[in-house]
Amino acid sequence: MIKKLALTCLFAAIPTMNALAANNAHHYPAIFIGTTTADSKSEFSYGFEYEYKFNKLWGAGVVYEKTDDAHHGDGVDVYLASAYLHPWKDLRIGAGFGKEKVGGHHSFTEDLARISVSYDFHFAGIGVAPTLAVDFVDGETATVAGVAFVFAF
């Protein structure tokens, strides 16, 4: 109940925050919803992203993603830090490093590298960013595709 109330308040305040932020925004939190495909299996993924833009060209941030049913139902959590390049309009290219934690009875953590690309489309003060990322973990790759809902302030 508290989570629903907090999300409702956040979504109600977003148009105001974005209108005030206009061109001076530096903070870009986002909610991600998509799928992760590894070993020919696709699973629902969701998460949170945050980027701080230093200027129009460069930014840095963090990503947390969860795929509950990945790795034979054990679940996977991804934590990473990224650098972002904004070479043209609302195009964003990212590269990051972090950890992938596999849950279950025999949980373990592995190093992860990610490259990503996204493009923000703006609707009613919210950025809608189709996103594609490739994760490199222990000699294997996973593809993450989805949409990030981006807010600026």
How high is the pLDDT of residue 10?
46
Q: Which of 79, 58, 9, 56 is nearest to 1 (CA)?
A: 9
How high is the pLDDT of residue 92?
98
Q: 91, 125 in Cβ contact below 8 A?
A: no
Q: pTM score, two decimals? A: 0.84
**In the predicted model, is pLDDT for residue 85 greater than 70?**
yes
Give the pLDDT confidence of 20-69 residue by residue, as tens digits: 344 678 999 999 999 999 999 999 999 999 999 999 999 999 999 999 99
Lowest mean pLDDT among 56-60, 107-111, 116-120, 124-128: 124-128
Q: 53, 25 in Cβ contact below 8 A?
A: yes
**Placement of tokens 């807010």 in the chain:** 151
Bridge partners (DSSP) listed for residue 37: 42, 143
Rounded Cα–Cα distance for residues 96 and 130 (Å):
18
CATH number listed for the domain at residues 2-150 = 2.40.160.20
Written as six digits, the tokens of 21 are 């932020």
